[in-house]
Amino acid sequence: MRLRRRHALPGFGLTLGLSLSYLALIVLIPLAALALKSATIGPMQFWHAVSGPRALAAYRVTFGCAALAGAINLVLGPLLAWVLVRYRFPGRKWIDALVDLPFALPTAVAGITLTALYASNGWLGRWIEAAGYKVAYTPAGITVALTFVSLPFLVRSVQPVLEQLEPDIEEAAATLGATRLTTLRRVILPTLWPAILTGFALAFARALGEYGSVIFIAGNVPMVSEIAPLLIVAKLDAFDYAGATAIAVVLLVASFAALFAINLVQLWTVRRRSAEAR
Amino acid sequence: MSIARRPSNALRDPAWLRATLLTIALLFVTLFLVLPLIAVFSYAIAKGFGVYVASLVDDDARAAIRLTLLVTAISVPANTVFGVAAAWLITRFTFRGKNLLVSLIDLPFAVSPVIAGLIYVLLFGAQGWLGPWLAAHDMKIIFAVPGIVLATTFVTFPFVARELIPLMQAQGSEQEQAALTLGAGGWSMFWRVVLPKIGWGLVYGVILCNARAIGEFGAVSVVSGHIRGVTNTMPLHVEILYNEYNRTAAFAVASLLALLALATLVLKQLVGWRMRRGVPESEVA
Instruction: Tell me what pLDDT residue A7 has.
Output: 56
Interface contact flag, A18 B238, Cβ < 8 Å: no
Any B CB within 8 A of A99 CB: yes
Whether B25 and chain A come into contact, CB under 8 Å, resolves to yes
pLDDT tens per residue, range A220-248: 999 999 999 999 999 999 999 999 999 99
Cβ distance of A151 and B181 shorter than 8 Å: no
Q: What is the band of A261 on the pLDDT scale with cuts at 50, 70, 90?
A: confident
Cβ neighbours of A84 in B, within 8 Å? 25
Per-residue confidence (pLDDT) for residue B8, from 0 to 100 = 56
Distance CA(A59)–CA(A253), nearest Å, equals 13
Least confidently predicted of A62-71, A265-274, B45-54: A265-274
Contact call for A180 and B265, based on CB within 8 A? no
Between positions 120 and 139 of A, the ones with CB within 8 A of B are 123-124
Mean pLDDT for chain A overall = 91
Among the partner residues B29, B107, B122, nearest to A98 by beta-carbon distance: B29
Helix (H) or strand (E) holding A186: none
Partner A, chain B 29-68, Cβ-Cβ below 8 Å: 29, 31-37, 39-40, 43
Beta carbons within 10 angstroms of residue A73's beta carbon: 29
pLDDT category, A3, cuts 50, 70, 90?
A: very low
Successive 10-residue mean pLDDT values, chain B, 285 residues: 50 85 96 96 94 93 96 98 96 92 92 96 91 92 95 97 94 90 90 92 95 96 87 95 94 96 94 73 41
Is any Cβ of chain A less than 8 angstroms from the Cβ of B181?
Answer: yes
Residue A87, phi then psi, degrees to nearest 5: -100, 150
A130 or A175: which carries more pLDDT confidence? A130
Residue numbers in B near A37 (CB within 8 A):
122
Residue A1 pLDDT exceeds 50: no
Instruction: Write b or e for each residue in B157-173: b if 16 or more Cβ atoms lie within 10 A of its Cβ, otherwise e.
Output: bbbbbbbbbebbeebeb
Q: Does B268 touch chain A (CB under 8 A)?
A: yes
Report the residue of chain B nearest A255, measured CA to CA: B110
The whole-number pLDDT of residue A172 equals: 85
The Cα of B133 is separated from the nearest Cα of chain A by a number of Å equal to 16
Give residue B277's pLDDT.
72
Residue from B93, B107, B118 whose CB has the most chain A CBs within 10 Å, to mutate: B118
List all residues of chain A from 140 to 159 with a beta carbon under 8 Å from chain B: 147-148, 151
- Which of B22, B8, B270 is CA-nearest to residue A89? B22
What is the model's pLDDT at position A4?
Answer: 45
Measured between beta carbons, the chain B residues lying within 8 angstroms of A167 are: 3, 6, 8, 10-11
Query: How far B89 CA sits from the closest chain A CA (Å)?
Result: 6
At a CB cut-off of 8 Å and minimum separation 6, what does A272 contact? none
Q: pTM for this structure? A: 0.91
Which of A84, A117, A205 lies at the smallest CB-CB distance from B35? Answer: A117
Q: Kindly report the nearest CA distance between residue A181 and chain B, in angstroms.
A: 8
Best of B6, B12, B28 to disrupt the A interface by mutation (most A CBs within 10 Å)? B28
Residue by residue, DSSP assigns chain B as: -HHHHS--GGGPPPHHHHHHHHHHHHHHHIIIIIHHHHHHHHHHTTT-HHHHHHHHHSHHHHHHHHHHHHHHHHHHHHHHHHHHHHHHHHHH---TTHHHHHHHHHGGGGS-HHHHHHHHHHHHSTTSSSHHHHHHTT---TTSHHHHHHHHHHHHTTHHHHHHHHHHHHH-SHHHHHHHHTT--HHHHIIIIIHHHHHHHHHHHHHHHHHHHHH--HHHHHHH---TTTS--HHHHHHHHHHTT-HHHHHHHHHHHHHHHHHHHHHHHHHHHHHHHHS-HHHH-
Residue B138 distance to chain A (closest CA, Å): 21
Mean pLDDT throughout A188-196?
A: 90
Asked if B88 reaches chain A (Cβ–Cβ under 8 Å), the answer is yes
Residues of B in contact with A26 (CB under 8 A): 150, 153-154, 157
pLDDT at B1: 44
Q: Phi and psi of B173, rounded to 5°?
A: -115, 20
